[in-house]
Every structure is written in structure tokens, then in C-alpha cells.
Chains A and B, each alone.
Chain A
């Protein structure tokens, strides 16, 4: 018994802050795997992106990690614990989400929406405690939403709404935040702004942030690690390591787009 616990301890000491660990995972619908052989590990304060071409299964993987759909095979561990062993309420205090689907009603003020992130902590009727209110204020402050907090969500621009949704996830105070395409529908400036915000949040709050994205070049500049989904062999690592491996050159058909290793950007073939 004691040798087992010692062994567990030693494993933990090798990876002291492993937050999310995915092993040989296949995701998809029913029996049809969309992507398989996914392996990666994220640590405290990591900003990581899942990248890949359209329809490769980025969102499916994210939904699986958020426990919104079951994996086909393989295992997901959060803080060394298997994902299925989490009770709904425990998971709600461990993983928060920002999704692409529109919120059901936009007739909520910014402050009300962010406060909904505190639901896993509030009592049976949802009364906000002093601590809950502090967390909401902090989240609003960190995403620079104080001036907007009394505005209704239908009055906001896409970029502002995305910030509000991130603030809501932040108020949920979880170790992991999963975001599905947080930069779609945004212009270049707002894309950069959101990604830089995510970076700041990860570093400031020591949360692990994982998001899906099409913005490969931006992710190469900003993320700590990247998971490139290709279907069966899914490379994972730091941007420089992945560039070294030359995985981006094969991403798109070479007669239309090529990858320039020096500038870490894609070039259109004329």
C-alpha cells in the first residue's frame, strides 16, 4: 500500500503541475472517429491552441475535453484524475467553456452574464456572496469591461461580446478554460487583442487556456504549445519545435500555399 502511494507521489513530482493529460484519444460521433491518436499534456499557466484545417475535428476534440460528448477511446486526465470520474459540479469548478454557439438570450446585462459564471459556487437559488461578487468584479476588470457592465448584451459588438464570454469563464474560476474559435468573426486588430488577452490571463491567473483556431501564424507567435490536428498523426509541441519538424509545409496542398520557416508564415503561390 505504502509503496503504491510512494509511486504515485514520485509520478506527481516528475510532473508537478500537469493539468490536462490526453493519451491515445479518439474523438468523433458514434463509432466514427474524426481524429484519433491524440496525445498531449498541458501545465499550469499554459496558453495552447488546437490548430488544423476546416472540418478536421478541432471543435469535436474541444467538446470531448469539455465532457459535452464522450470520447470514442483513449483517456483524458485532469489533475491526474480521469474525466468521467468528475461529478457535474466538480467539473464545473475545474473546466469552463467559451463556445461558438450564440447565447440563448442577449437580454442580460454584461454584469449579469458574467455573474452566471459563479453558479457552481452559489446556493440553491443562486445568491451571490461577497466572494462571488469580488470574482465577478475581478473578471470584469481583467477584461476591461467595467464601463460596459450595465449594458445589455444585444448592444455589444462581436469583439465586446467575446470578451464578456471570456470574463464569464474567468469568473467561473476554473483551472482550465476551453475556448472554441474565440477569434472568428473578428477583425485582425480584435483577433490579436483577444489572443493577447488570453496570454495575459494565462500568465496572470496561472490558468491553463486551450483554444481552437484557424489563425496558425498568430498562434505560432503567441502560444506556449500547439496541437496540430491532421487526422491520425497529430504533432504536439512548442511552436519552434513544430516548425523544426516541418509539419506546416504539408498542411495545405503545396501548389497553393507554402510555409516559410524563417518568418513562420504562409505564402500564397502565384
Chain B
């Protein structure tokens, strides 16, 4: 397999781009802070209390969240595409984001339903995160329970999509009966956001993404064998069931954790692995995994810059930006299918 060394220069360049994107992301926002001063605050040489507050407590956590979200979603997208041998698979094909949506929807819109029973339901950032995690975790458990029973990986893909349909339908019914205010709150959640995370929430997300990344790294060898198909992988000594669980749990942790904290963010997971394959022209996961981690982070940082509409006070929904950038990529991939690197 092509070694990491072959791609050293490309990786160095990507890391440089990542660093620049990070600086760009931090230096731009609704409040104009000159670039020189941003660097000054980051290096601790400039004392401007309000700017310092904005950068340390707002922009930096947001930038770090964007990195975690982008890298994590890109990784889980790569895992799913290899496991299902399907270039259109993404982090949410197992119904993880639909599960999160259901959790959030039940809390936000269901609270008016059950208000008579539960009295006053507390709807805030923390409870929404909890509800979304519970939702995605339950769907993941259901998918795992089925994964034990079935042998065919493709059937698992369809079952994941079916779960997505069911939860989507329940969310629709809830929306139908909701009042405008609750509906708006839910819609805002579904826009996704990488801002508003406290340092504590951020560290929790970091731990989740770290666990997901470790499991992905442990899956590298099995994923490479799976490039030949399941029968060949098995004949190479890969324990298919164990590999499948490892990949599902890694994806569950990454996509589930990220959706809980940042909402359902589309297209990054689907598009980044393809972008990485175009640049690196290999399918070796030893190269692709670090590549999608860096690529995903860059893409998310830049999407966040666009979403911020630098200089203005309004913020566009990040989910819309990723889709606006992501959808053309998918279309472009389908048009040049002959050369689709998969």
C-alpha cells in the first residue's frame, strides 16, 4: 500500500491550509477585530478585555468545535463508505441523525403534548443535547441489535434508511401538532450550529471524538481488507462481525456525539472522503483517515467563516452552507463518474 511518506508533502500543505483556515476563522466574525490584534490576543501580548473575551470564550471554542465536527463527520463518512462499499453512504445512513432529531423533536415539541403530565419541561441547550444523544443512541442500539441477527451488510444499510424514514415520519407528526414557537425552536436546532458550546461541553465532545478516532484507527487494517469485499477480507483473517461492530460503534460515537452537540450537519461526511480520494488518489485507509480528518476540519472551518457573514451581525445556518457547498460536489462526482475514485 502507498505509504504515508509518499504523501508527506501533500500532508504538510494540508496542515498549513488547516492552520491558515483556523486563523481566518478566528479573526473573522460579527465584531471586527484586526488580524494583527487577533494574533496578539492569541499569543497573550495584547490586553483588550472585550476582544479578548470574544476570542477566548466565543471564537476559539467555536473554531475548535468546527474542527471536531468536520473531522469526526468526515471520518464516520469514510467508515460507512468502506463498510457498505457504497460511495453515497455517509455518517447518517444508520439513522443516527434521524434518531437525534427524534430526541430533540420529542423534547422541544413533545413537551407541549405532555405538558399536562410532566408539568413544565425544561428545554435548553443541555437538555436538547441530552435528548439528541438519547435519540441517536437508541437508534444505534436498535441497528446493532439487528446487525447481530443479519449476515448481509447491505441489508443493514437498508434497515438504517428505514429507521431514518420512521423517525422522520414521527418528527413530521410532532411538527404538525406543534405551535409555531416550538416548531421554530426545532427548526433552529436542525439548522445545526458549531457555536454556543461552553468549554465544558467542548471537552466532552473532544473526549467523544477522541474515542471515535481511536476506534477508527483500530479498524484501519480491516477496512483495507474490506476494499476487496467481505469474502476476501474473511479469507485474510478478518473477523467480519468484530470489524463491523467496531466500525458501527466508532460511527455511532462520532456522528451521534457530534449531532447531539452541533445538530444534524449534512454533506460533510459524504463529500469529504471523495474530496480526499481525489487529492490522494489512493484507497489505503492509513493515508485516507488522516487525510479526511484534516480535510474535514478545513471544510468545516471555511463553511463556518461563510456562515458567519463576516462583518455582519447575522449568522446563516451552517447546515445550509455545508449543503450548498456539498451538493455541487456530489453532482460533480456523478458527472465524472468514470473517474470516480472509489
Contact = CB atoms under 8 A, between A and B. Distances in A.
Contacts of B232: 97, 99, 103
Nearest to A119: B236
**Range class of the A interface residue count:** 20 to 34
B331 to A, nearest CB: 20
Interface stretch (B7-15, B38-46, B252-260, B278-286): B278-286
Nearest to B227: A105
A27 to B, nearest CB: 16
**Range class of the B interface residue count:** 20 to 34
Interface string A97-131: 10101111101110011011101101011101000
Contacts of B284: 112
A28 B85 CA distance: 28
Contacts of B234: 68, 88
A108 B218 CA distance: 21
B176 to A, nearest CB: 42
Contacts of A96: 235
A116 B342 contact: no
Most chain B CB atoms below 10 A, which of A92, A104, A112: A104
Contacts of B286: 125-126
Interface in A57-91: 66, 68, 88-89, 91
Given A105-B85, A105-B283, A126-B1, A116 B225 contact: yes
Contacts, number: 83
A229 interface: no
Given A105-B85, A125-B286, A119 B237 contact: yes
A116 B85 contact: no
Interface string B216-243: 0110110011111101101111110000
Contact of B1 (A102, A107, A120, A128): A128
Most chain A CB atoms below 10 A, which of B226, B235, B282, B284: B235
A95 interface: yes
B22 to A, nearest CB: 28
B82 to A, nearest CB: 8
Interface in B192-235: 217-218, 220-221, 224-229, 231-232, 234-235
B237 A112 contact: no
B315 interface: no
A107 B221 contact: no
B236 to A, nearest CB: 4
Interface of B: 1-2, 85, 217-218, 220-221, 224-229, 231-232, 234-239, 277, 282-284, 286, 341-342
Interface of A: 66, 68, 88-89, 91-93, 95-97, 99, 101-105, 107-109, 112-113, 115-117, 119-120, 122, 124-126, 128, 172
29 contacts: A68-B234, A88-B234, A92-B237, A95-B235, A99-B231, A101-B229, A103-B227, A104-B85, A104-B228, A105-B85, A105-B283, A108-B283, A109-B2, A112-B2, A112-B283, A116-B224, A116-B227, A116-B228, A116-B236, A117-B236, A119-B221, A119-B236, A120-B236, A120-B237, A124-B218, A125-B286, A126-B1, A126-B224, A172-B236
